[in-house]
Amino acid sequence: MERLKMLVEKTLEQNWGESIKITDQDFKEAVEEIGKDVLYNYLVFGKDVPFELFLRNLQIYILGVKKLNYNQR
């Protein structure tokens, strides 16, 4: 889980040009919510969700829904 968190932080920094630190609790909540969405899409609609989409949705959740405070470089 720590590697995934580091990947999300790194990808967010690459995409936004700013260092974004995510708390363990916020990250856990984001993974749980996005995981539910992935499972729902698979079970109800029979749709596979590629990792890239999962990662993008994590970023959107973390930036948009959680509205984390982050420090600019």
**25, part of any domain:** yes
* Count of domains observed in the chain: 1
Q: In this predicted structure, what is the pLDDT of residue 23?
A: 86
Kindly report the pTM of this predicted structure. 0.74
Q: In this predicted structure, what is the pLDDT of residue 13?
A: 87
**51, part of any domain:** yes
Q: Indicate if the pLDDT at residue 62 is higher than 50.
A: yes
Q: In this predicted structure, what is the pLDDT of residue 47?
A: 83
43: domain range?
A: 2-65
Looking at per-residue pLDDT, the higher value among 18 and 69 belongs to 18
Looking at per-residue pLDDT, the higher value among 47 and 69 belongs to 47
Q: Which of 21-40 are b and which e, b meaning 16 or more Cβ less than 10 Å from the residue's Cβ?
A: ebeeeebeebbeebeeebee
